[in-house]
Amino acid sequence: MAKLEAFIKAKEKLSKVLLKTSLIQSPIFSKEAGNEVYIKPENLQKTGSFKIRGAYNKITNLSDEEKKKGVIASSAGNHAQGVAYGAKESGIKAVIVMPKSTPLIKVESTKQYGAEVVLHGDVYDDAFKKAKELEEKEGYIFVHPFDDEDVIHGQGTIALEILEELPETDIILVPIGGGGLISGIACAAKILKPEIKIIGVEPDGAASAYEAIKEDKVVELKEANTIADGTAVKKIGNTTFEYIKKYVDEIITVSDYELMESFLLLVEKHKIIAENSGILSLAALKKLKEKNKKVVSVVSGGNIDVLMISSMINKGLIRRDRIFNFSVNIPDKPGELAKVVDLIAQQGANVVKLEHNQFKNLSRFKDIELQITVETNGSEHIQNLTQAFEEKGYEIVRIKSKIN
């Protein structure tokens, strides 16, 4: 297991290239969680994620002979950019194998750092196998995204920064993919402050660390199915498993729906955009048993496709009852539609969409059906709107919104 000196040495090396990601106190997440919540915004880091830390530390620790061979890595995106950046700074060749499902922004960003990109397989594990084949065939030095001591030391520098800025931190929440980030943070944090609590967070559909701890051995999931593509890892590392087992206090899993909700809050209240994997720690805040503690949520990355941003905002609005779809029957006579629209306006809701279908209610010839989508302030606002309709003699039928 790593010693404090390894993390301090990595921090000194990284000081030349890192951007400062100071903690951000969050009133909205504090209120929702019942704790004093701070965000560690590694999505604002150079290359858009924490991955530059481990990759750069690993590459700069290579011998001159190893550097001549060039490096290869497998990645769902963020590690790719970290390796590409580190290789460029060191003046060596980098080849990155990425799953075909990797968001285009991550592929293009990796290429812009000068790396050669090979697209292979559907998930990270497929890309990893291909990269190992190329390592053997071409003689490259493999830079593992998580199961490597130098990488773990680099990622652990985040803990040094957190405790330097907020020594009284009680809990650190950390996303888990392959386990490198939480291994480094947990080890470094526990060395500096043994009583601190480290909690890992995984998506429900790719909880490989949770299963490994439960089985007390590294296991491979049958599938990794989650919108958090950067943590869609079917099998954590052997090295990281040992770190997690020793230093991590608890693992929480969250649903894709909870990620959508947290994404919306982060954008709306903090004007910060992060990728789905990056906000795992925010989605877990409401699941903490502890209250009135100082909690740091590591937001690990921000490389997200623009189209995904729009989709996540819309789904987050639905998740938090900010979008309300309903149908209502009204008499088929002039002025009735205006009454409904006026009633909605009186309740302070905003009509997003309205469909007026004269021919849908064949069973009730004197009525027509309206299908209405309105923007609201949340669940209480919807209840008030529904009550107002009922008081006027209208029956509302809620239409379940699709958010999957």
Clarify whether residues 358 and 376 are in a common domain. yes
Clarify whether residues 4 and 82 are in a common domain. no
Q: Of the residues 51, 106, 234, 315, which is catalytic?
A: 51
pTM of the predicted protein model: 0.84
* Average of per-residue pLDDT across 37-51: 96
In a domain, 55, yes or no: no
Question: What are the b/e assignments for 263-282, b being 16+ CB within 10 Å?
Answer: bbbbbeebebbbbbbbbbbb
Domain extent, residue 357, equals 321-398
Task: Dig out the tokens for 385 from the structure.
Answer: 């709107």
Clarify whether residues 34 and 180 are in a common domain. yes
Q: Dump pLDDT digits (tens) for 6-42.
A: 999 999 999 999 999 999 999 999 999 999 999 999 9
Residue where one domain finishes, among candidates 116, 139, 162: 139
Nearest to 280 by CA among 378, 212, 182: 182
According to DSSP, residue 235 is labeled S
Round to whole Å and give the CA distance between 251 and 31. Answer: 22
Is 51 one of the catalytic residues?
yes
Clarify whether residues 169 and 125 are in a common domain. no
pLDDT at 153: 98
Clarify whether residues 386 and 294 are in a common domain. no
Residue where one domain finishes, among candidates 316, 332, 365: 316
CA 212 to chain centre: 21
- How many domains does one find in the chain? 3
Residue where one domain finishes, among candidates 117, 139, 161: 139
Clarify whether residues 13 and 152 are in a common domain. yes
* Average of per-residue pLDDT across 356-369: 63
pLDDT at 314 over 90: no
**Per-chain mean pLDDT for the chain:** 91
* Average of per-residue pLDDT across 123-146: 91
pLDDT at 361 over 60: no
Task: Dig out the tokens for 79 from the structure.
Answer: 């590690």
Clarify whether residues 220 and 346 are in a common domain. no
Which region among 219-233, 239-253, 360-374 has the lowest average model confidence (pLDDT)?
Answer: 360-374
Residue 172: CA count within 13 A, CB half-sphere: 36
Clarify whether residues 279 and 161 are in a common domain. yes
Clarify whether residues 384 and 345 are in a common domain. yes
Residue 395: CA count within 13 A, CB half-sphere: 5
In a domain, 178, yes or no: yes
Task: Dig out the tokens for 128 from the structure.
Answer: 């990893």
Angle separating helix axes 336-346 and 379-391, nearest 10 degrees: 140
Clarify whether residues 256 and 386 are in a common domain. no
pLDDT bracket for residue 275 (50, 70, 90): very high
Q: Of the residues 26, 183, 281, 300, which is catalytic?
A: 300
Round to whole Å and give the CA distance between 205 and 257. Answer: 12
Is 90 one of the catalytic residues?
no
Clarify whether residues 160 and 133 are in a common domain. no
